[in-house]
Structure 1
Amino acid sequence: MRVRFISSNPHKFAEVREILARFSVEVEWVRMEYPEIQSDSLEEVAVEACLWLRGRVDEPFFVEDAGLFIEALQGFPGPYSSYVFRTIGNEGILKLMDGLSNRSAVFRSVIGLSEGGSVKTFLGETPGRISDSPRGG
C-alpha cells in the first residue's frame, strides 16, 4: 500500500515513515503547508485540512495534528500546544501549574485520512503526568 503524508515537518515525516514501514505501508512525503483552522478539536482541525487538500493532492493522503491536554488546566494547551511551547515554553506551563496537585495529562494525536472521497479520523492517546520541574533537553 502507498499513501501520501502531507506535512512541512521533516521530523514528523521520518517518524511516520518508520512506524508505517513496520506494516509494509510505503509513505510518500508531500512537503506542503496548508491552512490550519483554530479549533479546540484536533479532529476538526484534521478534517478541515483534508477537505482543503482534496483536489490539490492525489488520494489517498493523510495529515496529523497533535496536542498535550493537561487536566488541571481544562485541557490547555490542547490543539494550541506548538504555539504555547514556542511562546511560553515548558517553564511557562510549569508556572501555570504552580501549586496544582493534579499533574495528569494526555498527549493526543489525530490522523485525518482522505480516501475515496471521504475523510476518516483516527485518535491515539498516551496518558502521563507533568513533572514539577523541567527535565531533559
Structure 2
Amino acid sequence: MKLVFATNNFNKIKEVQALIPKTIQLLSLRDIGCEEDIPETSNTIEGNAQQKANYIKEKYGYDCFADDTGLEVEALQGAPGVYSARYAGEAKDADANMNKLLLELDNHKNRNAQFKTVIALELNNTSHMFTGICEGEITKNKRGNKGFGYDPIFLPKDYEKTFAELPLSIKNKISHRGKAIAQLISYLTT
C-alpha cells in the first residue's frame, strides 16, 4: 500500500516512518511533486487535518493522511491550540513560539497542558479521523535538544524528561502523534 503523508516537515516524517509497518510505503509531498503550501484556514485542529487530506486527494489523486497538532495550555484557555505553529507570528519560529508561551505563563502556577494530534485519512473514497492526546505540563525553561516545536518545554505526565530529552523510541510510544498514528496503523492493518 502507498500512502501520502501530507507534510514537508522532515521531523514529522521521521517520527511517523519509525512507526509505520514496512508493508505501507510512505510518500512525502516532495515525493509526489507537491511544492505548494497546503491551506490551513480552519479554526479547529480537526478541520485543518481534513482540509490538508482533502487537498492532496482532490489535486493529486493519492490516498493520503494529514495531521494537525496543537498545544493546549489550561491557564491560557486552550491557547495556542490551532495556532501553535504561528503563535509568535507567521514565521513559524519554534524558539519565538516557546519564548512567547514561557513569558505568558511566567506568573501562572497552573502549567497543565496537552498536545493534541488529529489525523485525517482519505482512503478508497472514505474519510476517517484519529485523535491522540498527551497530557503534561509546561516547564519553566527549555530542556533538551531532540525533537522539534514545543518539545523542549513540554514535560509529559509521569515523566521527568521533556519530549526534547527523551529518545525518539519513548516519545513515539507516549506522544500525541504516536497515539494517533497507532490508531491509524490499527485501522490500516485490520
Superposition TM-score, scaled by structure 2 size: 0.64
For residues 11-45 of structure 1, what are the alpha-carbon distances to aligned partners after superposition, in whole Å with 9 as ceiling and x for unaligned?
21122111113x74321222233111141x21111
For residues 43-100 of structure 1, what are the alpha-carbon distances to aligned partners after superposition, in whole Å with 9 as ceiling and x for unaligned?
1111122223322223321111111110110110011111125273322111111221
Q: Percent identity?
A: 29
Q: Which amino acid aligns with 1:14?
A: K
Contact 1:17 1:26 survives alignment (8 Å): no
1:112 aligns with 2:120: yes
Q: Find the residue that maps to 2:109 and give its secondary structure.
A: coil
Contact 1:42 1:66 survives alignment (8 Å): yes
Deviation at 1:118, TM superposition (A): 2.5
Larger relative strand fraction: 1
Higher relative contact order (CA 8 A, sep 6+): 1
Contact 1:67 1:77 survives alignment (8 Å): yes
CA RMSD across the alignment: 1.9
Alignment partners' CA distance in 1, 2:114 and 2:54: 27
- Structure 1: 4+ residue segments shifted above 4 A: none
Q: Find the residue that maps to 2:62 and give its secondary structure.
A: coil
For residues 84-129 of structure 1, what are the alpha-carbon distances to aligned partners after superposition, in whole Å with 9 as ceiling and x for unaligned?
2527332211111122111110011111101122221111111110
| Residue range with higher mean Cα deviation, 54-63 or 106-115 | 54-63
Contact 2:8 2:28 survives alignment (8 Å): no
Larger relative helix fraction: 2
Alignment partners' CA distance in 1, 2:11 and 2:143: 21
Go from structure 1 to structure 2 and tell me whether the alpha carbon gap of 1:75 and 1:26 turns closer, same or farther (over 3 Å shift): same
* Matches for 1:15-94 after TM superposition, within 5 Å: 15-21=15-21, 24-31=23-30, 32=34, 33-39=37-43, 41-84=44-87, 86=93, 88-94=96-102
2:174 is matched with: none
Count matched residues: 135
Go from structure 1 to structure 2 and tell me whether the alpha carbon gap of 1:82 and 1:52 turns closer, same or farther (over 3 Å shift): same
| Unmatched 5+ stretches in structure 2 | 146-190
Superposition TM-score, scaled by structure 1 size: 0.86
Q: Which amino acid aligns with 2:52?
A: A
| Unmatched 5+ stretches in structure 1 | none
